[in-house]
Structures are given as structure tokens and as C-alpha cells.
Structure 1
Amino acid sequence: MKRLRILRRWFARKFGYARLVCLALLIGIAVLRVADFAPIEEIRVRTFDTFQRIDPRKKLATSPVAIIDIDEPSLAKLGQWPWSRTTIADLVADLTRLGAVVIAFDVIFAEPDRLNPDVAADTFRNLDEETRARLRALPSNDQVFADTMRHSRVVLGESGLAEARSELDKTLPVTGLAMLGDDPQRFMFRFPGLLRNTAVLEQAAAGRGLLTINPERDGIVRRVPMILLAQGVTMPSLSFEMLRVITGTDTIFIKSDQAGIKSIGVKGFQVPTDANGQLWVHFARRDASILIPAVDVLEGRVPPEKIKGKLVLIGTSAVGLNDIKTTPVSRAMPGVEIHAQVIESALTHAVLSEPSYGFAIEFLAAIVLGILVVIFAPQFGPATLLAIGALFGTLLIGTSWYFYVHYRLLIDFTYPLMSTTAIYLALIFFSFVREQKQRRQIRSAFSQYLSPAFVEQLAQSPEKLVLGGEEREMTIMFSDMRGFTSISETYKNDPQGLTALMNRFLTPLTNAILERKGTIDKYMGDAIMAFWNAPLDDKQHHLNACEAALDMLERVDELNEQRELEAKEAGLPFVPLNIGVGLNTGACVVGNMGSDKKFNYSVFGDSVNLASRLEGQSKEYGFPIIVGSKTALAVKDKFAILELDFIMVKGKKEPEVIYAIAGREDVAQSGRFQRLRNLTIEMLACYRNRDWDGAREAIERGRKTDDAHALEYLYNLYDARIRGYQKNPPPEDWDGAFALLTK
């Protein structure tokens, strides 16, 4: 343990605790990056969004994709969605005639057409049986659509669901898959359920793919899964299934290793993905020229060159059909257009990717820069640090931008930049703390002589260091140790021991006063003088002073418990420490008192003198805390207040009612205190009415209660007075006041 302390002190002298904490911070930030918590990832992807907005993918002169848009005008002309399957069949036939290479639907036909002839035969009214029979004999609209699809290459969209709605029909065709490397399914996004098209359509389609696009946590679509697992079936995305169909291959190849999925491809064509099989889309700005209203196709207004040789997606941009997404380059992009962007990116090899070594670069940069900051930052001035920081920041951003522009690689500069900035700010914080510590040391040195609050005022306003005072209402406290003379005699051969005891005694009392917003005026041997409501205003000065007095009693009790245990262990006699406290509230003058060479912040006035007298009487009345009437009336609802006497203090012309504080509000509400107070009220009433027998009878009844010890000193005091008055009655004009003979 000793060696560890020596090592710690050596490290503190050599390197400083600030550097040690910054190294720990660097390690902590590195752990956060490895765990890749959501806030860190979001900052990273937002940065990549900014790159795409600044430099989006360049559109080709002629796009290989066309979108047949089920837009608002088409809905207005052809009626609400879904349209009849015969209308959809006509749309497919027209597109095939115009030369579409492959047609994909970004919509799902999960239920039979509601306009099928057999449905009409069963639902239309006033039809004769012959007409109904002829309707039932007609092929269904779904069959017409399926027959049309067989003369073209059509890819149907399917959707992942949050729950399985029914058992899958295992007789329906699925796309063939080949796994190269580790099992990729554990890395894929999963859906418990799968929504498919009607069986007759599934059987006729050339391909099937998931059209589900999941935005990220912030609602932005950046990555689109190329391969997913839905209700136990591994399926390609709609866009990649289109690419498979145009290549004429039957199987999709998935490459993976222990780190995750690496790529997805077909013979002669491969698309890199992230570990979860997602393609990071390199978005281009929206191109309205590739959107063709569906009604224009059906009415023959589309030039063949807009369709011939293209991959055609059929989807919707109509707001009411709820397929609008947010992307890095657009706040309102139809979902079908995102599929088009994926196809264009894949066909032009303009995809983005996070290289496997990118994390290593980011991590190494953060560690190296962090260590450099920890070592050299304390040695440079602010301007130099700012210039160096700007240089490193520019270098990080420039490197990341270079890889994005020239290689379409996403390398994060925000992590090393944030890591370095955090460490730099930590160093600044420690520098600030160090300066504050120095200021506290200066304040502490002066606070040994002045109130800490006053020292702070002086630090903020040095002009207050002048002679003078102000009058204000204040609460004054005097506290003194009982039996100090006898205690000091036990230390006559050990003056250092007495000094240690006094410091040990005064420290908790001082803390109790300061914690309750009091100001220490002075120490007088074993006594303390303090006051409230100066130099800072304190509207609760009566309450705070009384709370401080009770805190002082509690802390003395704790100190006595410690000393008694120590005395037993050392085999020495134990002498308990006790205190008396006097509190009084009234008008005083407070300020800098003294000469123009040396002065002290202090208080004086008649209220101060009375507080001192009350402290001296605490032993006589048997209560450690005695307060004046103004203090008692201000706090009577918060403390257990007990009236003691009506006295004439030596040197004063007006008598004063004095009270004892027996505890806080819980004591005041207790039955024990209520009994004590009632007995005291009865005794005082008889005493002041010269009913000596009644007063003595109240005293005797009080002495027979279980709580007699609490008022023993008070009973003895009044019993002695009454006996004296019975022998020598007070004058006729006696008002019940008792004149104190001593200060």
C-alpha cells in the first residue's frame, strides 16, 4: 500500500492526474466506439448523409430504369386503388409491347380481385341465372393477369411482416440460393411473417422479391437489405431479384464469413454489402423524367424509347398510398424510386461501402491523436492549440472526403475528431479545476479569520474593504463550553492535548454554524460568537440560527460518544463536554469595525449583549439553548418552544421573556413535550399571580411525572424563589420579572 501511494505521488508529479484521467477517457471512448452505441452511429451516418448531399451520385444521360407511377392523375382517371387485375394485365401487356426488359411491382396482390366475374355473379342483384352462369364460366381477372405475365418477365413484390399470419404455401416457387462461406442467415434482417401474392400470380411470375424498406432509427433510408429472412424463407430484395431475372440465372450467390455477409451476386455480377446484407445506396438527386404516369401507358401516350430495353418498376407516388420515404438527398422520395436508385447504383457500380479496414483507420487515428493531445496540449498556449486542432481537423475531414469522392468508401472522421475534442475539453476542464482550487486555497486562508461568505464578497467587490457599518435585524448566537476550567485542569501537564481537544470541539460546532448560513464573528477561548443575516441577506435567519444550535448539540453528543470510547480503550477517565447556547434577534449594527490600519467585520448592539446574557443563564435553567422572545415568536411553529421566565437583565431597563428550545417540530408535537409545557404554563401562571402554594403544587405534580428530570433545574430554581418570596414578598407593583444579579 505504501509503495502504491509513492508510485501515485510520483506519477502525479511526473505526468499529472489530468493526463491520467484523459488516458482513461481515451480508453472509455474507444470502448464506446467498439460497442458502436446508437448516438455514435447516428453522428457517423449523418456525416455520410452530408457527403451525399454535397456530392450525390451523377445521373446517367439515359437511365436504365423507368417507373410507372400510380400517381394522383392516374387514380383520378382510373379510379381508386387497387385497380382491376385486367387493368394491371393491360398495363403489363402494353409495357411488354413497348420493349420492357423486366417488369417489377412495388405493390402486392395479396387477395383475389374484388371484381372477378365469379364475385360479380354472386354479388350483383337482378341477374338471371343464365347470366350468372356465363359470368362464372369466365376466367378470373387474376387468371387473365397471370396469363399476361407468362408472356413477359414479371417480378412480384412481397413484404415482411411483424408476425406470421398463416402457414406458408410450400408449393409456391422461391428463388434458388447458394451459400458461399459461413451461414449468412444469422446476420440477415428477420421478419416473423411474410405477405405473398395470390397463388395463381406467384406461379406465373418470373421472380419474387421483398419490397420492404426499413428506415433507420432516425427515419432516414440509407441502406436497403439485398437479402432477408422472412418467416424462415431467405429472399432477395425486389431490386436484386430484377437483376437476377435479366441475367437469366436461377441462383443467387451469397458470400459470407465469420464477420458477416460480404456480397450478394449472380453469375457475372456481384454487389458488395455490409455485414447484414445491406447495400449502402449512393443516392442521386430525384429525376422526374423516369416517372411515367400509369394512365399515359394505358392510353398509349408513351414513346417507345422511354420503355424499350429498360427495367420497369410499377409503384406509387400518391400521398394517400403512404409510400413516401426520407433519404439523405430528399425528404419525400417514393419507395419505388428508392428501388430504382438501388438498381442504378448496382448497374453502374456506384455503390458506397464501409471498408473492413475503415474501422482500424478510425480507431488508430483516434488513439494516436488522443495520445498526442494528452502529451503535448498542456505545453502549448490556446492560440497554438487552436491552430493545431484546426490542422488536424482539416486533415481528418479531408482524408474522409478524399476516400468518399475517389473510391466511394465511407471512412468516419467524426469518431477521432470527437475523441480528440473530448480529451482536449477534459484537459481544459482540469486546468479550470486547478485554477479554482488555487482560488479556494486563497479563500480558505482568509476564511480562517473572516466569514467565507464575506471573503467571497470581498473577492467580488474589493471596494467593501472600508470602515463603516449598517443597521439590520439579525440573530446573534453565543456558545460556551460548560465546566471548561475543570476540564482544562486535567490537561495542565499536556497543553498540546488541550489545544487538540479545543480544535476537535470547535470544528464541528463551527461547521454546524456555517452549514446553516451563519457567520463566525470570533472565538473566545472555548466560546463562539456568530450571527445571521450578514453579510448576505437571509430571510430565514431565525430558523437557521435555531437549527444550527440544535445541530451543535447533536454534534457534541457524537463527539462525546467518540471520546468515551477512546477513553475506555486508553483506560482513562471520561469527562463529557457540554455547551450552553444563547440566541437573540434584534436590530444590530454590522460592518467593518476597528481602525484605518486594522479592522474586523463584526456586530454590536443591545441585542448582542442580551444574547450573551442568555447563554450565561442556560446552566441555571437546565436547558442548553435559551432564546429571546423575538426569536421564539419567529420560530414557534417550527420548534418545541418552552417559556422559562420573565427577567430583568443587569444593565437593561426593560424585562424580557425568555424561552428554551427543547427540540424540533416532531418534539413539539409529542405528548411528552405537551405535558411539560402544560405543567410549566400552570406553574408560571400561579407564580406571577403570587399563588405560591398553587405554583409549588404544580411543581410537586411535575416532579411525580415520568419526565420530571427534564425540568429538575427549573423546578429547583422556582422552588427556591417561591420560598424566598414567601418569607419576603415582592412589592405590590411586582410584574413577575426577576432581576438577574450577574451578567
Structure 2
Amino acid sequence: MMKGFFKSQTSTLLDLSDRLKIALSEFTGVRVVAIASLVVSGFVLGVRHLGGLQPLELVALDQLVRLHSDPGPDPRLLVVGITEGDIRTQKQWPLSDRTMAQLLAKLQSLQPQVIGLDVYREIPQQPGNAELKVQLREKNIFAIKKFGDTELELVSPPPGFPEDRVGFNDLLLDPDGVVRRNLLFVSDDTSTYFSFSLRLAIAYLESVGITPESSQQNPDYIQLAKAVFVPLQQNSGGYHNIDPRGYQVLLSYRSSNVARQVTLTQVLKGQIDPNWVKNKIVLIGTTAPSAKDTFSTPYSPAEKTIAKMPGVLVHAQMVSQFLDAATGERPLFWFWDERIEVLWIVGWTLLGAIAAWWLRHPVVLILGCGVGLGVLLGTCFYLFTLQGWVPLSAPVLGFILTSGVVITYRSYDAQQQQQIIMKLLGQNTSPEVAKALWKGRDRLIKSGKLPGIKLIATMMFADIKDFSTIAEQMPPEALLEWLNEMLDVVTHEIIGHEGIINKFTGDGFMAVFGVPMDRIHKEEVALDAQRSIECALAIGEILEELNQNWKTRGLPVIQMRIGIFTGPVVVGSLGGKDRLEYGVIGDSVNTAARLESCEKHRQPSNCRVLIGKETLVHLDNQFLVESWGPLPLKGKQQMVDVYLVVGRQRERASEV
């Protein structure tokens, strides 16, 4: 009765709440993935809406520009750069009007289609102003003006220069100071002003029969041939809340070396090939660093010497973009609708969560996430080669964040699962056993039970002699407290010797050494047997101390019987759906139990330890034993060679 009453529930594999967790494990995965995706998507989209991801998107755009194939210089362009050497040769800056007039005359003699003068000539620079005025009358020459942000920064074109051959050379800078946008027009209440680069492009395209017109798509959009210039909005591509005033498009850089370059001195000395000029667009501007007319571009981070690009080359990039778009060589940039971008970001965020949930092995998880990010980056780059600028940093961030959130949850969930698994053995396992169980958690959590495994183990049964008499004399509460005091120290010893408590039986227990790991080598089986004997002897020593303590407290003193046997068993989940135990079954278990209960009248010490020959063969003469000969055991047809463990060999040797 008492044994049945006190039978420990710690061997129950999974309580009701744990089984509920298992039953809902698949649903939990879907829920975790969905919640993580929604939360992270909301966070990423919120940060993106506030412009927090714009710097990352712009950096990504610059990298894509640098990775894009380089078609080389535009053959339709020539840049005449005014270098530091030219300034030293002329010994004057700004250059005199005469020098500029000579330069224009030399170029005109080579029959250019268009000449763009990206040099301010608002104030005459004598000598030679009259000569320059004569050259500026040519209809293929275009000059610049500057609006600036203040009245003091305004710069007018050369005096008397026709307005229809003037373009502003103001450049738009992103918050990080990089030129990524091409400004076509600006307007005020009375007029619309063309950019310098657009003036040059239109003049050149008119010579091949292409003129600007209003688009049928939207009459407010300018169209050159089939190219419709859709103006940037506040949130186009990776931009968020930019100033879209004027008529802007995303600048498509052709190459870091956009056009052939020659120096002013080379032109004046006639040291250039006429074919470089004939029917070309010639841009004249300073490339000397001292002029401080340089700008950061997407190429700047990769440049080791001169990081910034001269303004005249930036204008050449813009002219080249107009020409390529009009002739169909390079399409203009396009962007997704905001709704599609949201779906794109949410989709990759969801994929990150799914990958982190389903790819459990660390190596597979790392490879899977790496492949996923590789596909994302590769897709963005491929679309960029088609002139599509789609969100990159937002989906990457979403993918990484959801992966991190799900992995974090899985880590937390793994700790919860580990607690469930530890309940398999009533939290009475050694670290080695617990580790082995944890490795097999997937099968356990999925099916709710451990499959049967056949292995060699050493069983230990223990029981208190005359327990019924003791129980009869003590109140139940005091009896329970007294038993727990004894079982607590016994459990500590068993775990310390790498065994497990399979079950408590009120006044005794069943322990197993060698489960749940399958012992492959004989040495491992022998080590389990030796540990069980060491554990039994240690329990005997502790029992002596307990008895002395109990005696002084007026509590009963006890004697204990222990039976140990080594042999094949089957271990696994035992029971029905409402109750499961970690079962250890087999004839070897019965034999160990019978060894504990045989010859009850023979109690040579407070802790009697009987073993079978099957255990003795593994002890390697480390223990002193006394043969009791073959004995019949209850329920066994064959006799069993029984031995009493007297002590350790080294202890007896020291006594002698």
C-alpha cells in the first residue's frame, strides 16, 4: 500500500501542459513565423517611412552602380578640361576672354555639333572680350547660369547671350553630399528654365530628328523619342521624403570615365584628332582641383586618388543619359509602386522567418540564410541591370531581423523543451544523460515518446528492511519527511555516479546505469557496472552517517538491501496517452529486483549489496566480493550465481 502510495510521479514523461505544447508544436511554428514577420515588417516599414533606411538604400545604390558593367566613354562626347597645367601655362585664372575665344575658334574649325561652355563668363576678363563675343554668336554654343540658394550666389550668363541657349548648372546633392539626381527643369511663377545638360542633349538630338514633346502617358511629362521622363516623387525607389521640386530623374551614370578628355593646351596647339570633335558634343569646363568644382558620386568610395568628379564630367554624365534614353541604348530608371514594394519587403521578411524556423541544423541554417540573402541581392542586382531600382536594404534588414527573432525564440523554446525532457527522468539525470536526451529531443517532442532501444545496462534495486514495521509506528507526515531526507542524499549519489533514478517505490528506488545512451564498447559497459558498485558502497557509507543522526533525533535507524545486475534491457516510453514513463524492461531488471529481495534474513551489514556474476565479470577485481553460490530467485527457473560486495580492494589492502 505504502509503496503504491509513494510511487514517484517524477518518472512521468510529460504532464498535461507539456503534452499540450507538443500537440500544438506545428501550430506554434506557424504562429511564431507569422507574428515575427508581422512585427518585423511593421518595424522595417515604419523606419523606412520615416526615412531611416534611406542612407542604407543610397549606399546600396552606389554599390550597384559600381558593380554594373562599364560600357566605357560615350563616343558622342568630348570634354575639354582646364587643368592645373593649363592654368599655369596661361598664368591667369579665370582665363582671359581671348584664350576662351581662341579655344572656341579652334573647336569650331573641327565642326562640332554642340559646344557647352561650363565656365562662368558673367564678368569680362580682358583682353579679348570683343573676340569672345564674336565666338559666342555661334548658334551651337551654350552657356551656363547659376541660381544658387541666395541672391549672392546667383551667376548670370555672358552679357547679351540668348536665353534659349542658356542652361543652369546647379546640381542636386543628396543628404550625404552625393550627386544621384538629374534636374531637368526648374520653374517660377513666370518661366521654366532648362538645365545645361538638357539644353546640350536637345540641341544634339534635333540634328538627328528627335525633338522633345509631351508624353501621351501624362502631358506634364517630357518625352524624347520613346523615352518618357517620369519625374521622381518623394518616395521613389530608396528615397523617402526627398524634396521633389523641379523636374528630377534618377541619374544613370554611364561610367566613371564618361567621355574622352583632352586639355585646353592640347586643343590650342592642335594636338587632337579632328574626329574626336566632328559632330560631337564638346563640353568645356575646369578639371583643376584648385577650382573646387568637384562633386561626390557613387564612384567616389572606390576611387583611391581623386575621389570627387569635376562638375563638367557630371554634366557629361547627364547629357549621356539623355542621349542614351532617347536613342534606346539605356532605358531610364523605373520604380515599383509603393504597394508592390511593401509586398516585396514583407515577402522577404516572411522568408527569413520561415528559413530560421525550418532549418534547424546550424550549418544548414547558415547556408540557407546565406543562399536566401544571395538570391535577394542577386535579384536586386539583376533588376538594376534592367534599370530598376527596388528596395534592397529594407528586405535585407527584414530578412535578417526575422531570422534573428525566430532563432531567439527557438533558443528560448529549446530551453522550454529541455525542461520538458528533463522531466522524463524526474530531473534526476546526470549531465551526460541529460545531454544525450537533449540530442534526441526532436523525436521526443514530435511523437511525445521515446522509441524502444535495446542496450546493455546495469540495474540497481534498493529497499529498506522492515519498512512496514517502521511505517506502522510513525505518523504519515513524519514518515514522508524522513523518507525524503534519505532519498535526497541517495539521489545525489546516483546522479554523481552518472546513473539515473528510474522510479521511487516508497521505501526504495530503481536506478539504472548506462541509459539512455547505447554502450558500444565493452569498456563502457564495465564502467557502468563499476560506477553502480561505487554508488552502492557510497550509499552504505552515507547510511551509517544518517543512522547516527537519526538516532540522536529519536528517529528510526534502518538497514538497506541493494541488488545489482548487468544485462540486456529495452528502454523507451512506456504507458498510454494519458501517462508515460521512461520504462526499462527485460529479464535483467527482474533479476536485479530479485537479488535485492533474496535471502532477506542474511544482513551482514547495514547496507547489503548483492550482485550477479554478470556484473562481477565487469568489475576488474576492483572490489572484494564474497560468493554466496548459486541461489534460486523468485520467478526464475535457473539458479543465479550471487555475490556479496564486501568493499573496495584498495581499502582492504590498506587495512592489511
Instruction: Say which is worse superposed, 17-26 or 237-246, in terms of deviation.
Output: 17-26
Q: Does 1:323 align with 2:293?
A: yes
Amino acid at match of 2:41: L
194, 202, 220: which is aligned to 1:244?
Answer: 202
Q: Does 1:45 align with 2:67?
A: no
Instruction: Say which is worse superposed, 95-104 or 428-437, in terms of deviation.
Output: 428-437
Instruction: Determine the structure 2 residue equivalent to 1:146.
Output: 133
375, 389, 393: which is aligned to 1:395?
Answer: 375
Cα separation, partners in 2 of 1:237 and 1:288, compared to 1, 3 Å = closer
Question: How big is the shift at 1:69?
Answer: 1.0
Q: Give matches, 1:171-570, under 5 Å.
A: 194-200=154-160, 202-203=161-162, 207-229=165-187, 233-248=191-206, 253=213, 263-265=221-223, 271=229, 273-275=231-233, 276=244, 277-287=247-257, 290-330=260-300, 331-349=307-325, 350-351=329-330, 353-357=332-336, 359-374=338-353, 377-383=356-362, 384-405=364-385, 407-432=386-411
Instruction: Determine the structure 2 residue equivalent to 1:115.
Output: 126
38, 41, 48: which is aligned to 1:23?
Answer: 38
Amino acid at match of 1:113: P
CA distance in 2, matches of 1:55, 1:199: 43
Amino acid at match of 1:109: R
Amino acid at match of 1:294: L
Cα separation, partners in 2 of 1:89 and 1:417, compared to 1, 3 Å = same
Q: Give matches, 1:128-167, under 5 Å.
A: 141-165=128-152
Q: Give matches, 1:94-105, under 5 Å.
A: 94-105=106-117
Alignment coverage as a number of residue pairs? 377
Question: How big is the shift at 1:214?
Answer: 2.6
Cα separation, partners in 2 of 1:351 and 1:279, compared to 1, 3 Å = farther
Q: Normalising to structure 2: TM-score of the pair?
A: 0.50
SS in 1 for 2:308: strand
Alpha-carbon displacement from aligned partner over 1:29-77 (angstroms, at most 9, x marks no partner): 22333x261x4122222222222222243025x7111111111121111
Q: Normalising to structure 1: TM-score of the pair?
A: 0.45
SS in 1 for 2:53: helix
SS in 1 for 2:43: helix
Instruction: Determine the structure 1 residue equivalent to 2:105.
Output: 93
Q: Which has the higher contact order (CA 8 A, sep 6+)?
A: 2
CA distance in 1, matches of 2:151, 2:190: 10
Identical counterparts, % of pairs: 19
Cα separation, partners in 2 of 1:251 and 1:108, compared to 1, 3 Å = farther
Q: Are the aligned partners of 2:334 and 2:387 in contact in 1 as well (CA < 8 Å)? A: no
Q: Are the aligned partners of 1:220 and 1:328 in contact in 2 as well (CA < 8 Å)? A: yes
Cα separation, partners in 2 of 1:195 and 1:273, compared to 1, 3 Å = same
Instruction: Say which is worse superposed, 278-287 or 220-229, in terms of deviation.
Output: 278-287
Alpha-carbon displacement from aligned partner over 1:192-251 (angstroms, at most 9, x marks no partner): x74322432x23x65111212233222222222222347974322211111222345998
Alpha-carbon displacement from aligned partner over 1:444-494 (angstroms, at most 9, x marks no partner): xxxxxxxxxxxxxxxxxxxxxxxxxxxxxxxxxxxxxxxxxxxxxxxxxxx
CA distance in 2, matches of 1:230, 1:149: 27
CA distance in 2, matches of 1:211, 1:333: 15
Q: Are the aligned partners of 1:23 and 1:374 in contact in 2 as well (CA < 8 Å)? A: no
RMSD (Å) for aligned C-alpha atoms: 4.0
Question: How big is the shift at 1:80?
Answer: 2.2
Question: How big is the shift at 1:92?
Answer: 1.5
CA distance in 2, matches of 1:255, 1:272: 10
Q: Are the aligned partners of 1:194 and 1:230 in contact in 2 as well (CA < 8 Å)? A: no
CA distance in 1, matches of 2:91, 2:259: 24
Question: How big is the shift at 1:597?
Answer: 8.0
Alpha-carbon displacement from aligned partner over 1:605-624 (angstroms, at most 9, x marks no partner): xxxxxxxxxxxxxxxxxxxx
Question: How big is the shift at 1:312?
Answer: 0.7
CA distance in 2, matches of 1:394, 1:268: 35
Cα separation, partners in 2 of 1:17 and 1:48, compared to 1, 3 Å = closer
Structure 2: tracts of 5 or more residues without a match: 1-22, 234-243, 301-306, 421-543, 548-656
